[in-house]
Structure 1
Amino acid sequence: MNPRFCYTLTIPKSAIDINGHVNNVLYVQWMQDAATAHSQSVGDTILRQQEEGSTWVAKTHTIDYLKPAFEGETLVIQTWAESFRKAASVRLYRFLRGEEEIAKASTVWVYIDTQTQRPKAIPDAVIARYM
């Protein structure tokens, strides 16, 4: 298994919807936040990407909500790059409240040339950062 990155947050009141638990759209935001923090931690920084003329864009998000989360709770989001194809990577996520998994998710990220706005091959050096 690839190394897991842990991103921790405390659920703010603003995340709570009319049903009294975290609104589902916040999970996508937190997935992006965790992915960005992980990328920064391995040196796949926005600056590096800009210098290379590349960026990552989300193609698909999938989320399985297992249990609700509530204001004031601390969540740990584990995330890791599960696989790489020519121009895409699958990133997985686990949302944990203590030891309890409350959601699991995935994103297909596509590596894009910022000039052409088209997918391009992920350099081996970039892939190595996540392994």
Structure 2
Amino acid sequence: MPAWDHPAPFVIRRTVGEGDIDGLEHTNNAVYVQWCEQAAWAHTEALGIDLAAYRSLNRAMAVIRGEYDYLAASRLGDGLAIATWITGWDRRLTMTRNFQVCREEDGTTLLRGRVTFACIEISTGKPRRMPPVFIEVYGPAIIDPTEPGE
């Protein structure tokens, strides 16, 4: 079981496949970013907002900054747990998510990430205030990033 950085993570699981491996015989760095994106979407959907809701509101949370620390490699066949938490927001425009990718076999943390999102109007791509439903749905999911994990 991984030692999570924060309590109560939202977790998805993936197994490293042949298409995830690069010329150095480990998981390509871009694949980790895709898995983090998948975890963020799955968490958002679990909270009650999906792509159809984004479209009907003409609003979305779009990445404006991503930071990833690659700490160890994963290899073909490794089972991984990808965790995410919403760790901050300004209740108007931006939101921050943290990510942690761990190898399930030994609990080793392979990656830590932090991504900042901004609310945009889909039709124009311009920043816009979060609609009330975003505040209602995302707000209760925000954790205090200073709390120690499990």
Indicate whether the TM-score tops 0.5: yes
1:51 corresponds to:
56
Figure out how many residues of one structure are paired with residues of the other and give that number: 131
Counterpart AA for 2:93 = A
1:21 corresponds to:
26
2:96 corresponds to:
90
Structure 2: tracts of 5 or more residues without a match = 1-5, 142-150
Q: 1:103 to 1:45 in 2, by over 3 A?
A: same
1:35 corresponds to:
40
Task: Give SS of 2:135's match.
Answer: helix
Identity %: 24
1:122 corresponds to:
130
TM-score (norm 2): 0.81
TM-score (norm 1): 0.92
Q: Contact conserved, 1:6 with 1:79, CA < 8 A, in 2?
A: yes
User: 1:40-77 deviations in whole A, cap 9, x for unaligned?
Assistant: 11111111111111112111111101110001111001
Work out the CA distance in 1 between the residues paired with 2:54 and 2:9.
22
Aligned structure 1 segments of 4 or more residues deviating by more than 4 angstroms: none
Q: Contact conserved, 1:57 with 1:109, CA < 8 A, in 2?
A: yes
Q: Contact conserved, 1:2 with 1:82, CA < 8 A, in 2?
A: no
Query: Is the deviation greater in 38-47 or in 120-129?
Result: 120-129
Structure 1: tracts of 5 or more residues without a match = none
Counterpart AA for 1:125 = V
More strand by share: 1
Q: Contact conserved, 1:84 with 1:127, CA < 8 A, in 2?
A: no
